[in-house]
């Protein structure tokens, strides 16, 4: 079992959306151990939301999960953005920064996350860019395994591509359990086998989310629905495999009342307790 030593946060977290800000004060939000925001949505925000955000970052641990770095894109890295981001991370004592292992821009944002071709050339290209980002920010970052619906130019399996990038860039992994499930259905592979091949020592935290079922064999990663049972089961398998890891609920669309979101956060927490108890029993009996 892994201790807390290499996790930037602990427990169960929730993605913070502006739509939640006004109802937060009415909730027992100590139920949430840490929060995550997209820095692009908060850089330079003042007024009511700026003030509320500052109050929250002074009270709670925060992580940033970026949207616009486009680590696999053809355009040069936006180093001016990275300098602004670096100041923002320091200013709000953000515990950690992660991004998507994909690309989303080329002379303008495409507002969708597109798959990087699974090739050796792409591994070298992306890893070099990740190292540059880590140098500028002067900290390690995590890349998230993304959902994808086509694999143009594919020369390697997804798991081999992901592991090669993490290794060559020497960066960490944000493990999205829902994306593994979605990809395993769409690309017909075994989710648990994929999970077992991930590098335990690089996992910093976990995302879990809902998705949309377009057809029997086509799931779309929307973050707009409740988490379904098979995804909760895969999260349990993740804890079984790697120990309990900080886990965050992502919900970007169709936001239900915060009470419902907090119930899902509570489900994360209860699964974590269950596995911590089992680990405790195991240690006592061994």
- Contact between 195 and 238 under an 8 Å Cβ cutoff? The reply is yes
What percent of the chain shows pLDDT beyond 90?
Answer: 67
DSSP category for residue 188: T
pLDDT band at 227 (very low <50, low <70, confident <90, very high): very high
Please give the angle made by the CA atoms of 70, 71 and 72, to the nearest 5 degrees. Answer: 90
pLDDT band at 2 (very low <50, low <70, confident <90, very high): very low
Q: Given this model, what pLDDT does residue 115 score?
A: 65
Give mean pLDDT, residues 192-207: 97
pLDDT band at 103 (very low <50, low <70, confident <90, very high): low
Question: Which residues have a Cβ under 8 Å from the Cβ of 281 and sit 6 or more positions away?
Answer: none
Q: Given this model, what pLDDT does residue 255 score?
A: 84
pLDDT band at 280 (very low <50, low <70, confident <90, very high): confident
**pLDDT for residue 200 is more than 60:** yes
Query: Greater confidence, 221 or 20?
Result: 20
- Contact between 143 and 171 under an 8 Å Cβ cutoff? The reply is yes
How many angstroms separate the CA atoms of 284 and 278, rounded? 10
What is the chain's Cα-based Rg? Answer: 18
Q: What's the chain's average pLDDT? A: 88
pLDDT band at 212 (very low <50, low <70, confident <90, very high): confident
pLDDT band at 225 (very low <50, low <70, confident <90, very high): confident
Q: Given this model, what pLDDT does residue 106 score?
A: 45
Query: Greater confidence, 149 or 137?
Result: 137
Query: Greater confidence, 132 or 6?
Result: 132
Residue-wise pLDDT tens digits, 249-265: 998 778 888 889 999 99
Q: Which domains does the chain have, with CATH numbers?
A: 4-285 (3.20.20.150)
**pLDDT for residue 223 is more than 50:** yes
The tokens for 248 are 């965050």
Please give the angle made by the CA atoms of 175, 214 and 181, to the nearest 5 degrees. Answer: 20
Q: Given this model, what pLDDT does residue 108 score?
A: 46
Residue-wise pLDDT tens digits, 29-66: 678 999 999 999 999 999 999 999 999 999 999 999 99
Side-chain-side CA neighbours of residue 263 (13 Å): 7
**pLDDT for residue 107 is more than 80:** no
Q: Given this model, what pLDDT does residue 10 score?
A: 95
Query: Greater confidence, 154 or 53?
Result: 53
**pLDDT for residue 244 is more than 60:** yes
**pLDDT for residue 110 is more than 70:** no
Query: Greater confidence, 223 or 92?
Result: 92
């Amino acid at each position: 079992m892994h201790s807390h030593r290499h996790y930037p946060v602990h427990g169960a977290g929730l993605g913070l959306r502006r739509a939640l800000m006004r109802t937060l004060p009415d909730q027992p939000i100590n139920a949430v151990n840490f929060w995550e925001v997209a820095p692009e949505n908060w850089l330079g925000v003042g007024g009511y939301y700026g003030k509320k955000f500052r109050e929250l970052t002074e009270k709670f641990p925060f992580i940033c999960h970026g949207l616009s770095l486009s680590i696999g894109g053809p355009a040069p890295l936006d180093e001016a953005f990275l300098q602004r981001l670096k100041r923002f991370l320091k200013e709000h004592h953000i515990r950690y920064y992660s991004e998507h292992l994909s690309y989303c821009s080329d002379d303008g944002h495409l507002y969708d996350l597109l798959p990087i071709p699974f090739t050796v050339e792409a591994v070298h290209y992306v890893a070099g860019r990740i190292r540059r980002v880590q140098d500028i920010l002067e900290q390690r970052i995590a890349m998230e395994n993304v959902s994808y619906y086509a694999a143009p130019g594919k020369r390697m399996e997804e798991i081999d591509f992901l592991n090669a990038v993490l290794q060559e860039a020497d960066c960490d992994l944000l493990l999205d359990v829902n994306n593994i499930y979605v990809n395993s259905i769409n690309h017909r592979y075994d989710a648990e086998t994929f999970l077992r091949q991930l590098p335990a020592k690089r996992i910093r935290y976990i995302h879990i989310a809902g998705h949309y079922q377009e057809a029997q064999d086509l799931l779309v990663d929307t973050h707009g629905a409740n988490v379904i049972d098979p995804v909760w089961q895969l999260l349990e398998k993740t804890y079984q495999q790697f120990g309990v890891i900080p886990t965050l609920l992502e919900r970007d669309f169709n936001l239900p009342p915060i009470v419902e979101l907090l119930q899902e956060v509570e489900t994360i927490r209860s699964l974590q307790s269950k596995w911590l108890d089992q680990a405790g029993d195991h240690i006592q009996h061994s």
